Amino acid sequence: MATIPIQEAVWQAAESLMSQGIRPTVANVREITQRGSAGTINDSLKEWWQDLAKRINVNKVHPDVPEPVVAVMQQLWHIALTHGESAFDKFKQEAQQEVEDAQKNKIAALERLQKSENKMTHLQAQIETLKSSERQLQTHLATEQALRTQADQQLETVRLNAQKALAEVEVTKSQLEKELALLAAQYQHIEHQFNEKNQQLEQQLQYQQQEFSAQNILQQQLLQSCELRTTQSDMQLLQAQTELRMTQQRLENCLLENLSLKETLQRPVQKRDVLKAKLKRF
């Protein structure tokens, strides 16, 4: 269905309001049309009022209309024009405020858009980095898969070699078990001989310990006897040394007396009595 022009839609809305006894304004007309800017609706209303004035001009169009009705209609037309202009100014201010708010919202939206673009650029860089990492991981994965295939082949070779070695080990184990049984029998025989020899050695050791104890007791008795004789000899030596010191002391005294006697003989006769007195003491 074709959309009628905005001017025709405004005129139809104004006619509808007027038929209901409601004065057409920019606001109530826009509520009906649901489209058109305030300026466009106001211009269309002005043209509608002018057309209405022409239609109610009784002098030229309808001479049978009474003069009071014409005067009322003209007065109503002027009032409608004045009110329409006032409403248009108010609506214009509101529209300007809406435009300013829209500009602010636009600026905020542009800022958000810029931030979003920056974030998008950063995300794209991250995506490129992730793609590069993914390519590297894929390359690494392919290398790992190749290495794993090689490792599986090597593992299979090792498994086969291990099976072969295990079979050889089983054969060797059987031989070793036979040798071990033989060695166990030899060990039992050697252990029996060792026990017998050990018993003989223990008996000899006990006999030697008894002889050693007897010899030790004898040596201790001899040592005690020697120590006793040594103590007696030390006492005799000490006594002899004491007597020797006393003899030396008497000898020294005799030498001193002899020296004194010689000096006395060289002195005058009056000292001979003194010497005789000393000789008497001996």
- Distances from the Cα of 59 to the Cαs of 65, 187, 238, in angstroms? 8, 155, 186
- Residue 81 confidence (pLDDT): 61
- Give pTM, 2 decimals: 0.27
> Higher confidence at residue 184 or residue 151?
184
Q: Where are the domains of the chain?
A: 6-100
Assign 280 a pLDDT band (cuts: 50, 70, 90).
low
Q: 62-76, 150-164, 169-183: lowest mean pLDDT where?
A: 62-76
Taking phi over 0 as left and psi of -120 to 50 as alpha, with beta for the rest, 117 belongs to alpha
Q: What is the pLDDT of residues 107-131, one digit of tens each?
A: 776 778 778 778 888 888 888 888 8
- pLDDT tens per residue, range 161-181: 878 877 887 888 888 788 878
More confident residue, 193 or 45: 45
Tokens of 253: 């005294």
Q: What is the pLDDT of residue 46?
A: 92
Return d(Cα 4, Cα 206) in angstroms, integer: 142
What are the residues whose beta carbons fall under 8 Å from the beta carbon of 81, sequence distance 6 or more? 46, 49
User: What's the pLDDT at 59?
Assistant: 47
